[in-house]
Amino acid sequence: MDTSAADTRAGTIRIEQFPAGLEDGRPDARTMGWFEAVRAGFHDGAPQPGHVGAYVAAYQADRRVLWGAYDDGARPGAWGPDIPVATYGSLANTMNVGGGRLVPTHQITAVTVRPTHRRRGLLRTMITTDLEQAAGRGFAVAALTASEATIYGRFGFGAAAFTRRVEVDVRERFALRAAPFGTMELVDPASMLELAPRIFAGFHGRTTGSLDRQFSYAQVASGRWQSEKPEPNPDLRVAVHFRPDGEPGGYVAYKFAGWHSEPHTMKVVDLVAASEASYRELWRYLGSIDLVQRIVWSAAPADDPLPWALSDPRSYRVTAEEDALWLRILDPVAALEARRFEQDGSLAFAVRDPLGLAVGRFRLDAAGGQARVERLDASAAVDLTLDVDVLGSLYLGGARGRTLAGAGRLEGDDAAVGRLDRLFALASAPYCITHF
């Protein structure tokens, strides 16, 4: 167990890192306290021990590290000594960084600070310690999904992949232009325990920006768990697309919003396709469900082919765009050499980093899909200068250099920005359907 201390105005705060644990088959006090604090941080009710027991098994499978910050100087009567005043968590999974290349990625989650202890540097202490440790362990990239867009830029994270909330009108005018492919089956949700990870592996391998999924996803797709709690979800239906060769190519888990919904609405809980053809067939299926007038989904791709597949593209409506994935480059050399480059070319650039982890000048030479990145000395001439959060946004091609230069976030002449955009472009926009 690692411990470190941070002095705050409220006294000495003790920070501990630990795995989720059980004692005599029940969540241990420290784990229970951690869940209490996280749920309070996100305005949820108190956790039930049975639920936490299920999450402990999941967190152990995910190999999550939990952090708790404890205020030993709290006044008598302050909320339980086992309940941290700040929480934090981390895990690691692979991320597809283009061309099916999977890179181990450090993920950050469950960040909360009690209102009585906010804005005293607790998040800063935990995240700077964690990022330094992750870099020390050889991670080139860190990732998170953010509750607010104003928090993590200062720590070097940039919005890197985006999703859409969409509504599709599936009344009589719903039709797809492409010919049908394979078959759909409504399946027993329990079969998803085996099928969901298998289908997701196909999606993960073909989708830039995809992060491998944690334990809970197959539980939710199988109806064993609800999204919000580890209790059965009897209202869940699951349909699977089978390719002509009999292989499962995609699934959609969905739930009726109820007869009071107006128009009658089906909500997509999870939709995963291992190919574009399976993606179309999942939608053909959703559009064919009788008595339903609208499908809503909160995780459609930013460059969704669906409106182009529909006979009436206007039956597709984007209701929100979301920054689904934030990336933090910890090691520019390793991160850039890991990703695929579809264009050949060269670029010299300087990276500023408020935490000092990725700071420096670099030269990137890409040829045949592979980059070689060399660290330059501090006086070397460069084409571009950027902050490390901007590098995170550019990393998978989710934001364009031209746009960021227009926003005043990137310094360099037009020719260099054009070169950057040609070099960093990937075949499709990054897309992440893993929340953590």
Ligand X SMILES: CC(=O)SCCNC(=O)CCNC(=O)[C@H](O)C(C)(C)COP(=O)(O)OP(=O)(O)OC[C@H]1O[C@@H](n2cnc3c(N)ncnc32)[C@H](O)[C@@H]1OP(=O)(O)O
Determine, following the binding rule CB under 6 A, whether residue 6 of this chain makes contact with ligand X: no
List the end-to-end C-alpha distance of the chain, in Å, as a whole number. Answer: 23
Q: How far is the CB of 123 from ligand X (least distance, A)?
A: 3
Determine, following the binding rule CB under 6 A, whether residue 414 of this chain makes contact with ligand X: no
Identify the DSSP state of 192: H
Please pick, from the candidates 113, 168, 338, 417, the single residue that binds ligand X as defined by CB under 6 A: 113
Residues annotated within a binding site:
111-113, 119-124, 147-148
- CA–CA distance, 241 with 158 (Å, rounded to integer): 35
Q: Quick one: 24 or 148, whose CB is closer to ligand X?
A: 148
Q: How far is the CB of 69 from ligand X (least distance, A)?
A: 9
- Non-local (6+) Cβ contacts of 408 within 8 A are none
3-state percent breakdown (helix, strand, coil) of the chain, nearest 5: 30, 35, 40
Determine, following the binding rule CB under 6 A, whether residue 253 of this chain makes contact with ligand X: no
Q: How far is the CB of 279 from ligand X (least distance, A)?
A: 28
- CA–CA distance, 36 with 34 (Å, rounded to integer): 5
The SS3 call for residue 344 is: coil
- Furthest-apart CA atoms within the chain: distance in Å: 70
Determine, following the binding rule CB under 6 A, whether residue 107 of this chain makes contact with ligand X: no
5-13, 120-128, 192-200, 327-335 -> range binding ligand X (CB under 6 A)? 120-128
Q: How far is the CB of 102 from ligand X (least distance, A)?
A: 22
Residues annotated within a binding site for acetyl-CoA:
111-113, 119-124, 147-148
Please pick, from the candidates 9, 75, 119, 260, the single residue that binds ligand X as defined by CB under 6 A: 119
Q: Quick one: 122 or 196, whose CB is closer to ligand X?
A: 122
Question: CA triplet 184, 189, 192: central angle to 5 degrees?
Answer: 85
CA atoms within 13 A on the CB side of 322: 21
Determine, following the binding rule CB under 6 A, whether residue 112 of this chain makes contact with ligand X: yes
Residues 251, 196 contacting (CB under 8 angstroms): yes
Residues 196, 434 contacting (CB under 8 angstroms): no
Catalytic entry in 55, 59, 88, 152: 152
Indicate if 436 belongs to the active site.
yes
Q: Residue with structure tokens 């499962």?
A: 248
Q: Residue count at the site for ligand X (CB under 6 A)?
A: 21
Indicate if 424 belongs to the active site.
no
Please pick, from the candidates 13, 15, 92, 111, the single residue that binds ligand X as defined by CB under 6 A: 111
103's tokens = 């890179």
Judged by CB under 6 A, the chain residues 127 through 166 that form the site for ligand X are: 144, 146-148, 150-151, 154
- CA–CA distance, 367 with 365 (Å, rounded to integer): 7
Enumerate the active-site residues: 152, 436
Q: Which residues bind ligand X (CB under 6 A)?
A: 41, 108-113, 118-124, 144, 146-148, 150-151, 154
